[in-house]
Chain A
Amino acid sequence: MLLALQSLTKTFVGMKALDEVDFELASGEVHALLGENGAGKSTLIKCLTGVYRRDAGSILLDGRDISPDSTSRAQALGIGTVYQEVNLLPNLTVAQNLTFGHEPRRFGIISPRAQRRRAAQMLEGYGLDIDLDRDLGSYSVAVQQLVAIARAVELSGRVLILDEPTASLDDREVQMLFAVVRRLRDRGLGIIFVSHFLDQVYALCDRITVLRNGCRIVTERSDSLDRVRLIEHMLGRELAAQEESEKRHRRSAPLAGEPLLSFAGVGRRGFVEPFDLEVQRGEVIGMSGLLGSGRTETAELMFGIRRMHSGTVSDAEGDLRLNNPRDAIAAGFGFAPEDRKTDGIIADLSIRDNIVLAMQARRGWLRRVPRAEQKRLAADYIERLDIRTSGPEKAVGELSGGNQQKVVLARWLAMNPRFLVLDEPTRGIDVGAHAEILQLVRELTARGMAVLVISSELDELIAVSDRVIVLRDRRQVARLSGSDITLENVVHAIAASDEHREVSA
């Protein structure tokens, strides 16, 4: 075995990111590493590349125990990595990037000619015909990706980790990349391939390992693991559990009457394909799909974070203008983003400040929310949402993930929106808070608010939604409602490969 991880464990403050994970990689193999956000993929990779130090377990390369403590050490040991965000320097030329740190020199002076020759040698066999003296940044991501691979292979040459390399490539570029990867595999490299494009995984990989919540769920040959089972592994819960969720009582029919909001032909080129959606008062719309299917992008479009290129949004009163978040908030929208830390909370400010922020921004700086009102709001929501804190003046950054999420929710509830978008509202939250937030969603809709929930946890989505929309490749591929909302139907809609798309849609 080329590379073997045994009982690898890594803990961050209170969270087990990796829990006794085993993983093996043979030379001449492409091994897919799959899992949703937070499953532990990136932690595993960072342990391999020396960004993190593991807490327990061992990493064996050619049977020898290694503990890389920096990227360059990992490289020297033979483990090279290429990330989705190309980790090369866009401001250096292609040749400089390829030879960085190993420039051919005479008397300490770099010879540009030798440097170019060396770079050209490194790129041989990659099918690239590019000007080595141009800035790397002036080339497409695909080219940068290949250059990064060439550098990683040259420097390490044993194990190559490709972390979401195809996320921003088009079909032709993907084929180009795959040709290179297959050639490297045939040369005897062991390749770890991380991707959320299942078609690509099946096209390229020999074996598949699935991680979920920091645990290894399964490792199997890709030709014996069918797509539906794979998605079950990734999203959790075996189909057996489905019956129970089917028994859940569903509201009889969608509420009749005028829709609260209608999105018609809303889309943005290269971001989200145009879609139609009518939102009824008091309903929960679930949005499902794998990472990269356009879930978050759809929410960003709805909330005015990105401008739509086409389509209209209207309510009973007429058309709405949604050019920025302020417009969306004025229209009665709210949005709790997926990445709470960077997009949601203002970490150094108090719970009280965070809760009143949206309301305050809406009122304008001159009309301050009176202090008494602020305190009342904070106390109210701390109690209603059961935010665990020593008091309303505590900085939000010091709270646990679940309580931070509740603060963000409180911020929007204080605005009393008519349409609330929750992107992965339960990610990284402990089980108790999890249930509370789902309960809250139901309470809100009972009072007429419409909620769009984006989640990669299928059973939760199925439990809470009145309708489920399934996205794949940035377009809506299925809409399920009533008794059609079953785990099986959702999984099949996600899993359907291109040929079957029409059938399931």
Chain B
Amino acid sequence: MRNPRLYPLLATIAIFIIAYAICYLQFPYILSTRVAGNLLTDNAYLGIVAVGMTIVILSGGIDLSVGSVIAFSGVFIAVMLRDSGLHPLAVFALLLVITTAFGAAMGWLIYRLAMPAFIVTLAGMFLVRGVAYMMSIDSIPIDHPFFTSLQRVYWLMPGKGRLTLIGVVMLLAFVVGHIIAHRTRFGANVFALGGGEQTARLMGSRVGRTTVMIYAFSGLMAGLGGIVFALYTGSGYPLATVGTELTAIATVVIGGTLLTGGAGYVFGTLFGVLTMGLIQTYIVFDGTLSSWWTRIAIGVLLLAFIVLQKGLLRLTTARSAA
């Protein structure tokens, strides 16, 4: 593995393995399928959203609206199931259409207005959170029989660990995300955009179309994440998942993707999500450490990765210039 493009990914995996080893030495139980199953279940919505975020960041953009979209999705599902009598699957489909269209609209604005994605998606974040508020300001429980039966779907792994439906959905999202990012022309265009918009255009990439599709995909993933989050919590709450966009961005970067775009792996993000989940698990196991150490640890990891990548970038440009 002497290919330097793999270094950040390898660093991510190495950090995860080392972290797991440290946890294991202190709490051997952490290596059980129960913990592993919970790790997947607890972070399923985050992982799914992070898949979309990875694509966005690979293209050199950012999507701040995803946390709001998750909250909106929960409220939308809860309200629709309570008031409309539609089947949950129909509601899900309708929701995904809405969030995808919303993402596409943001992508179109970003391209058309030539404005920073940061600002446009910020407006999107306000808008969607506001719409969620307008639908309900309280937490709405979801108790549709089909819905609750979905919540109980799991596969019992050896060692009594539960691989839940939403955990599987997350893993599938990563597989699909990987194929899209690394095995399609759309994915190649995403990387090209992240490498340089001007060059991408010169190489024949259709920048506008790609931008719209990128944010549409992120919207789709955020909607899916919202469904999973609703299944996970069994309710819709407009104040939920505040700040999830930041966590998702952090997991993407810790997963080895360059925050300025153009380099990274979707599977790296999976390890970023798992590392974050592991830190939380460790804190729970420890019992004396407080939850805020998670955020601080994430911040330190984030800083380390950003500086590391800056260093790598300087190193390679210095070498090719010499």
Contacts and interface: CB of A to CB of B under 8 A. Distances in A.
- Which bracket fits the contact residues of A? 20 to 34
B195 A92 contact: yes
Contacts of A87: 199, 202-203
A138 B204 contact: no
B196 A134 contact: no
B3 interface: yes
A89 B196 contact: yes
A75 B205 CA distance: 13
B109 interface: no
A133 B5 CA distance: 9
B214 interface: no
B185 A91 contact: no
A128 to B, nearest CB: 16
Interface in A173-220: none
A161 to B, nearest CB: 13
Interface in A134-161: 134-135, 137-141, 144
A96 B179 CA distance: 15
B203 A131 contact: no
B3 A89 contact: no
Contacts of B288: none
Contacts, number: 80
A451 B320 CA distance: 36
Interface string A109-150: 110100000000000000000010111011111001000000
Interface residues of B, number: 27
Nearest to A111: B183
B208 to A, nearest CB: 13
Contacts of A135: 3-5, 263, 316
Nearest to B185: A103
Contacts of A89: 191-192, 195-196, 199-200, 203, 262
A87 B199 CA distance: 6
A144 B262 CA distance: 18
Contacts of B205: 100-101
Contacts of B317: 137
Interface in A71-99: 71-72, 75, 87-93, 96
Given A92-B191, A138-B320, A140-B320, A75 B185 contact: no
- With a 10 A CB-CB cut-off, give which of A96, A131, A133, A135 has the most chain B CB atoms: A135
B26 interface: no
Nearest to A270: B322
A307 to B, nearest CB: 15
A105 interface: yes
Contact of B4 (A71, A88, A110, A138): A138
A93 B195 CA distance: 12
A140 B185 CA distance: 26
A108 interface: yes
B204 A71 contact: yes
Contacts of A109: 179, 183-184
A270 B191 CA distance: 33
A110 B320 CA distance: 29
B239 interface: no
Interface string B108-133: 00000000000000000000000000
Given A92-B188, A100-B203, 18 more contacts: A71-B201, A71-B203, A72-B204, A75-B204, A88-B199, A88-B203, A89-B191, A91-B194, A91-B195, A92-B192, A100-B188, A101-B188, A105-B184, A109-B183, A110-B183, A134-B5, A137-B320, A138-B319
Interface of B: 3-5, 179, 183-185, 188, 191-192, 194-196, 199-205, 262-263, 316-317, 319-320, 322
Interface of A: 71-72, 75, 87-93, 96, 100-101, 103, 105, 108-110, 112, 131, 133-135, 137-141, 144, 270
30 contacts: A71-B201, A71-B202, A71-B203, A72-B203, A72-B204, A87-B199, A88-B199, A89-B191, A89-B192, A89-B199, A89-B203, A90-B195, A92-B188, A96-B188, A96-B191, A100-B205, A101-B188, A101-B205, A110-B184, A134-B4, A134-B5, A135-B3, A135-B4, A135-B263, A137-B320, A138-B4, A138-B5, A140-B320, A141-B320, A144-B320
